[in-house]
Structure 1
Amino acid sequence: MMQTDNRDLKSSILSMILIAGTIFILDQLTKSLIVREFYLGQRSEIMSFFNLVHVRNYGAAFSFLSDAGGWQRWFLTGVSGVASIVMIYWINFAKDEKVMEKLSLMIILGGALGNFTTDLFWGM
């Protein structure tokens, strides 16, 4: 019984690393690509309803706190870090049959880790 539980735990951790890690890597690659290939403000139309634009957001969603004076960088970095820890905890304690819940949390974890890294190293 213990060996099965151990294997399930290892499988769950491996799944979390693969899914959250893939989202994290894609997040960092796309951000790096935009910063490297687009000048600030450059716009590229992908489809008639979807444009890619290089902007810098030093706050949270929709530039919330972007003009707060600098303290928001560390606050938002902390929020991303805490959110990542909560997601890891939640994923590990979610029931195995709740596959969609776990998958959703792993995707959110990848994004939270991407935001944490961006806030920590790029300040935006």
Structure 2
Amino acid sequence: MNQAIHFKTSMFDVSKERKNPINPIYGISLLAWLKTELAGKFEISEPDAEDWGWYSELEFDGKNYLIGACAYFEEGDNPQDEIEWAFQVDKRRSFKEKLFGKNKMNVSDGCFIFFLELLEENPNFNEVQIA
């Protein structure tokens, strides 16, 4: 099960994002920013589209994760306004781990805590909360 962090920011102009070819959902700018911001600490894959938004993959403490983002923005909204975002962290588990209920994703997971603290400590992100 993935864990999500919701927040608001006016840091990104989502109206200038490349279009999601699957579903008209915004969110690539957050993942692109994270890729740049964390360069040298983590290798984050190039963001790619999904029907629920955008995702990238990374390795954290020897485990593989999928991180996802979507912005609650619709055509006609002002892109300079503060926009609500959802950021997801999902741990990849083997079939055996799933079968035996091992290494489940939760809010105490190191990768989740890392991203939660990164967003909480950045003054450009407001109303950061676990959803």
Place the TM-score, normalised by the shorter chain, in its bin.
under 0.3
Is the helix fraction higher in 1 or 2? 1
Question: 1 or 2, which has the higher strand percentage?
Answer: 2
- TM (norm. structure 1) is 0.24
Q: Larger radius of gyration, structure 1 or 2? A: 1
